[in-house]
Amino acid sequence: MSEKEANTIEETKTEAPAPVAEPSVAPEAPASGGALAGVRLRLVAVGRLVTSRGRGHYGRLIAGLLFLVICLGTAYQLRHGLVFDVVEKPTSGPAISEFPSELTAGELVRMGQGALEGQDVDTAARFLEEARIRAERGQPDDINLFVDVFEGLARVAEIQGRPRVAELYRDYVRRKQAELGRSLPLFSAAERDFHAGELAAARRNYARFLLTQAALGEAGSRYVQRARRRLAEIWEMEFERKSGGLANVVDLAEPKEFFDERR
Amino acid sequence: MSVVERAIVVLLLAASVTAQTQDLSVKAIQKGSQNFEIDIRSGSATVADCLAAIASACGLEVQVAKPENAAILSREKVDVELTGTSLESLVELLAMAIGLDGEVELDRRLIVIAESPAEGDDAAALEHCRSDAITALIAAYGGSEDAQDEVELLLRSARLELAGGEYSQAFDTYQDFLSNFKKHPAVPEATVAAAHAAFEADRHEDLQRIVQEFLGSYPDHPLVGRCQLIAARSRLRTGDLGGGMGLLKGLIRQARERVLPQRDGMLAELLLAETLHERGEDEAAIAGLAEAEIRYDRKLDQDLIRQIRFYMAICRRATGNLRDALHDLEVAAFEVPNDALRVRTLLLYADLLLESGNPLVALTSTRSALTLNPQGETLFRARRLAARAYRRMQLEDEASKEMLALVLDAPKLLPDPELRRRELSQSLREIGEIYLDKGLVHDAVASFKAVINAAEHHADELDPARRELVAECRYLIAVAQARAGRHREAVETLDSITEGISSESLAHEIRRLKGDCYFESGLPEAAMRVWKEGEGR
């Protein structure tokens, strides 16, 4: 097992909440000090190796150039490298899971989102992780499903106080969305504003996103729908905030004053 | 808004033309007389350019409310790619994308861009958010084939309509939900909300119908009591006192047997007592309230139970039992659950103290009320009570100062026009009385005439209370004229009082004054006849 793989597994054990052995996102160096040290160690080893093999100036030059190329390659990988390493991907046999096998990945995501709404972070994490596994097995091309799964996992990581991991998940979400259309980052920005309670900014970004809806394909229609729903929600929230909260309809139906002397 | 402040882009072109600039293409097709369908594509054009091209394609003008808004339009760029979108929604989205508000006024051929009213905290901002929320809900959920989407749309819109006082519309929306989703778990709550909306919209037949449907389908639901309560209020409002009171008594019985929640029973007790009080059956109201106070669990629904003493005081006052009324108010001042009721308690306490000849303590009570709420109606009522207290203490100058101040401030203190008119009439009459006490006959007559003019200005809707006020003012004018030695005029004024004499004491005063005037005018026989007429009755 390579050092990187070892780090990946270590990251899975310490960071990801999934109960299954299959690793989730394997954030590289920045997410873990051990991983960064491993990369550094590997570079030094390669450097020594290539320089020791060279003979004379010409040989050292070639070795140096080779070292430089490896360095640049590694740097590029680090810069853009949210790597989804699948350590062991089972190819056959039933999944050992605590969830009924009839549940689809989409249903699991919705359950996870429901648990998140109820602030039950651990349960949400378990649902979402299972959803991720089933999505990888059954619907590997469903971009929207993956976006939902990783957006949910990002929120879990955020609540659990792991902002770096959350950001890595979000980075993946953004890149997946970019596959759908150039304006989807606007949608993501609006969602971030919305969850941060910045309603005016969220409203502006949802509107900007909706202005480009014809550029989105069929897969983008659900974002259009979600943006419209969020806009409705934002106006409702603004109204509630300004009016001091909408009364429960049953309380509203209570008579409020008796023996009104003004009558 | 001055013309200078408006940046107006005027571009008049026929509809259905295509405007094409470097990165911007707009095609507008007129759909009927009231809408356009737009295809638009722009690669990072400014919003001003987009709007100008849209206006050009539709034959409209763009009107921008303020120069700073025009600057935002020229500065902010947007990507737009939409097909077959309505003009209204496109303009709204473009404006929203830069934090402004956009509207199309086709009758004025204008696209109006202004600051979003939602940014403020006033009533206009609230209303803007509410109406935009309903529009956004329709855009988000309308036309969906998913039943859950339809439920979301109906229930959330209805709730917003209810909150905005659009009761009839809210009822229709709830009705749509109740007809189409008879087995939905939200039916009980929606029925209560629909009944409330129907009550406020005075759609009493609809109200009784949906309540009956609910009772038929959910006879044992915990919200049955709440529905019956609204049904009872509806009957009372439509004048079916027997039916309304019968329903209330049934509710009270079921609550006492713990079949229905205590809160519904308590509310029914208070409504029944109020109805009895309005019918003049104050002893029965007091008995009911006294029983309610001890029968219900004080740990529950404290907010209602702690109001009882205040209502008992109102009923006791109506029976003339000032001593017990004052005692109840002293208890209520500490017990009532909120400041609004405490203010009402303190002001009623001051009023009763004035009646029982204790103006100094009354004045203190008005001051206490003002510390809790020194504005609006409370300030108006407290000042009037203070003026009466000063008058009782024979401090006419202080009294007239208070009265004049409250008359001048009435427009801002009393926003409800009907209440303002009524209260102003009362106040003017009291000012007249103060002038009369001070011997300022001319000023007194002027005040009384102002009251009569105000009341008769709405002659079509002269209710008994207003007729009574007019009669009283005419009597007071006659008093002023008699004091000034203008006895003949006084008699003419008294003769003009043909209606509104509801109390025997006023009728007696009128006859006595008329006799006095005849006597002073050297007509003792006529005076004797009038005086005897009075005695004969």
Q: Kindly state whether residue A187 falls inside one of the protein's structural domains.
A: yes
Arithmetic mean of pLDDT, A110-136: 89
Q: Is residue A169 part of a domain?
A: yes
The answer on A50 and A13 residing in a single domain is yes
Q: Does residue A260 form part of some domain?
A: no
A239 close contact with B: CB closer than 8 A? yes
Is residue B29 over pLDDT 50? yes
The residue behind tokens 């309560």 is B229
Domain of A116, in residue numbers: 100-180
Chain B interface, mutation test: which of A242, A243, A246, A256, most B Cβ atoms within 10 Å?
A: A242
A229 touches chain B (CB under 8 A): yes
Do B81 and A211 make contact, defined as CB atoms within 8 angstroms?
yes
Residues B279, B259: Cα–Cα separation, whole Å? 29
A176 located within any domain: yes
Distance from CA of A109 to the nearest CA of B (A): 19
Q: Are residues A152 and A187 in the same domain?
A: no
Residue A72, exposed/middle/buried by CB under 10 A (0-12, 13-18, 19+)? exposed
* Closest C-alpha among B266, B209, B276, B267 to residue B236: B276
Query: Tell me: the pLDDT tens digits for B111-123?
Result: 999 988 887 778 8
A208 touches chain B (CB under 8 A): yes
Residues A109 and A167 in one domain: yes
Q: Is the pLDDT of residue B261 over 60?
A: yes
ipTM: 0.71
Question: What angle do the packed helices B359-372 and B339-355 form, to 10 degrees?
Answer: 170
Distance from CA of B126 to the nearest CA of A (A): 6
Q: How far apart are CA B6 and CA B344, in angstroms?
A: 50
Is A160 part of any domain?
yes
Question: CB of A251 within 8 Å of any CB in chain B?
Answer: no
Minimum CA–CA partner of B227 in chain A: A253
Count of structural domains within chain A: 3
Chain B nearest CA to A70, separation (Å): 40
Question: What's the whole-model pTM score?
Answer: 0.66
Q: Looking at CA atoms only, how far is residue A99 from chain B in angstroms?
A: 26
Q: How confident is the model over A129-147, as a mean pLDDT?
A: 84
Determine the 3-state secondary structure of B26 from DSSP.
strand
Through-space distance between the first and last CA atoms of chain A, rounded to whole angstroms: 86
**Cβ(B128)–Cβ(B118) under 8 Å?**
yes
pLDDT at B421 (0 to 100): 76
Query: Rounded to whole angstroms, what are the CA distances from A5 to A11, A25, A26?
Result: 10, 12, 9
Among the residue ranges B169-178, B185-194, B496-505, the one predicted with the least confidence is: B496-505
CA distance A188 to chain B (A): 15
Q: Is residue A172 part of a domain?
A: yes
Q: Is A225 on the interface with B (CB under 8 A)?
A: yes
| Range of lowest pLDDT (A28-42, B215-229, B481-495) | A28-42
Q: Select from B399, B402, B424 the least CA-distant residue to B411.
A: B424
CB B117 within 8 A of CB B102: no
At B13 the pLDDT is 34
B110-115 sheet: strands from edge to edge? B7-10, B61-64, B110-115, B100-105
Q: Please state the rounded mean pLDDT for residues B355-373.
A: 92
- What is the pLDDT of chain B when averaged over all its residues? 87
Using alpha carbons, select from B357, B422, B347, B437 the residue that is nearest to residue B389: B357
Does any domain span residue A255?
no
Residue A95 confidence class, pLDDT cut points 50, 70, 90 = very low
Amino acid at B337: P
Interface test with A, best of B75, B130, B157, B421 (most A CBs within 10 A): B130
- Does A183 reach chain B within 8 Å, measured CB to CB? yes
Structure tokens at A45: 């080893």
pLDDT bin (cut points 50, 70, 90) of residue A12 is very low
Output the domain CATH number for residue A175.
Answer: 1.25.40
What band does A16 get if pLDDT is binned at 50, 70 and 90? very low
Which one of 3.30.70, 3.55.50, 1.20.5, 3.40.50 gives the CATH number of domain B7-115? 3.55.50
Residue labelled with tokens 């480009």: A212
pLDDT band for position A192 (50/70/90)? confident
Could A204 and B196 be called an inter-chain contact, meaning their C-beta atoms sit closer than 8 Å? Answer: no
State the pLDDT at residue A90.
40
For strand B77-86 and strand B100-105, is the pairing parallel, antiparallel, or unpaired? unpaired
The residue among B521, B474, B468 whose CA lies nearest residue B493 is B474
Which is more confidently placed, B445 or B274? B274
A244: Cβ contacts below 8 Å, ≥ 6 apart: none
State phi, psi for B420 to the nearest 5 degrees.
Answer: -60, -45
pLDDT of residue A46: 61
Question: What's the CA gap between A33 and A10, in Å, rounded?
Answer: 11
Burial class (CB in 10 A: 0-12, 13-18, 19+), B91: buried
CB-closest option in B99, B129, B140 to A242? B129
Considering the domain architecture, whether residues A189 and A143 belong to the same structural domain is answered as: no
Last residue of a domain, one of A138, A160, A180: A180
B98 to A204: CB separation less than 8 angstroms, yes or no = yes
Residue B450: predicted pLDDT: 82
In a domain, A89, yes or no: no
Do A175 and A105 share a domain, yes or no?
Answer: yes
End position of a domain, from candidates A145, A164, A180:
A180
Domain boundary among A180, A200, A229: A180
Under DSSP, the state recorded for B22 is S
A221 touches chain B (CB under 8 A): no
Model confidence pLDDT, tens digit, residues B39-70: 999 877 899 999 999 999 999 999 998 888 99
Q: Please write the tens of the pLDDT for every residue from A195-224.
A: 889 999 999 999 999 998 887 777 778 889
Token pair listed for B226: 């709440």
What distance, in Å, lies between the first and last C-alpha atoms of chain B? 69
- How many Å lie between the alpha carbon of A88 and the closest alpha carbon of chain B? 40
- Specify the pLDDT at position A86: 39
